[in-house]
Amino acid sequence: MLNIGCHLSTSKGFKHMGEEALSLGANTFQFFTRNPRGSKAKKMDEKDASALMALVQEHQFAPLLGHAPYTLNACASDPHIREFAHMVIKDDLANMEYLPNNLYTFHPGNHVGQGVETGIELIGQLLNQALRPEQTTLVLLEIMSGKGSEVGTSFEEINQILQRVNLIEKMGVCLDTCHIYSAGYDIVNDLDGVLTQFDEIVGLDKLKAIHLNDSLNPHGSRKDRHAKIGQGTIGMEAITNIINHPRLRHLPFYLETPNELPGYAEEIKLLKAAFHG
Ligand code: FE
Ligand code: FE
Ligand code: ZN
């Protein structure tokens, strides 16, 4: 069975997202833990969270994926911005425990002129401050496209961050197909080679989620613009190979394509039809 979902809006609450996912033919979804550009998290509605957990159990969903806000920068040069990032991650992880045993992904950050090495060091430090042995949430590093001074744009950088984390069993990786194609990994012509590389550098056991997006920009462009499935430079054939690949097919796939709900429903249908049961 293909584990597939898309990004949904939290505005009507947790249980509503679960019902929406079902109506789209999905068995999981991604959501922002708070306003993607803002800072304030809504107070956790515990009843709503447990209603979602009941629905998820009943319908045997794949893990849900919480996404940290884009504004979070774990490796900013300004210590106040880093302290804010620490607070956001800590808060988000506390909230995620109301939705136990799920996933939380974040963009590693922008080193803003301090250099990748310093960036990696700061991200590692922040994770060591924020992770708790008792947490049930896995924290995922999202691989980035390499625009600006982004950190975490290669398998090596992702591995170097992971190497610094003490509670490594709480960590994983989220692979965004648009981002890695833009970052220079040729998943169209050499998917096997890219996955072998990932396995040697990071370890495929660390790969916990795939953001399934087509890309508006060519391979190696270091730009981050998502396209609808089959309508970008990655294309339907490569995407079909990705969802069916023996080393990936068991993973949950989350669409972050430029769509409203009917568009997501169509893409989910298309991908289910392309999946070899
Ligand atoms: Fe992301
Ligand atoms: Fe993504
Ligand atoms: Zn992106």
Question: What's 269's domain CATH number?
Answer: 3.20.20.150
Q: Are 194 and 187 a contacting pair, CB within 8 Å?
A: yes
Distance 112 CA to ligand 2 centre (A): 21
CA distance 239 to 204: 19
Distance 261 CA to ligand 3 centre (A): 19
Domain count, the chain: 1
φ, ψ for residue 203, nearest 5 deg: 105, 120
Domain interval for residue 138: 4-274
Q: What is the pLDDT along the chain (277 residues), one digit of tens a residue?
A: 999 999 999 999 999 999 999 999 999 999 999 987 767 777 889 999 999 999 999 999 999 999 999 989 999 999 999 999 999 999 999 999 999 999 999 999 999 999 999 999 999 999 999 999 999 999 999 999 999 999 999 999 999 999 999 999 999 999 999 999 999 999 999 999 999 999 999 999 999 999 999 999 999 999 999 999 999 999 999 999 999 999 999 999 999 999 999 999 999 999 999 999 8
User: Maximum distance among all alpha carbons in the chain?
Assistant: 50
Distance 224 CA to ligand 3 centre (A): 5
- Could you tell me whether strands 103-106 and 138-142 are parallel, antiparallel, or unpaired per DSSP bridges? parallel
Distance 32 CA to ligand 1 centre (A): 10
| Neighbour tally for 267: CB within 10 Å | 24
132: helix, strand or coil: coil
Starting from the CA of residue 106, give the closest ligand. Answer: 1
Question: Amino acid identity, residue 6?
Answer: C
Distance 46 CA to ligand 3 centre (A): 30
Q: Are 178 and 73 a contacting pair, CB within 8 Å?
A: no
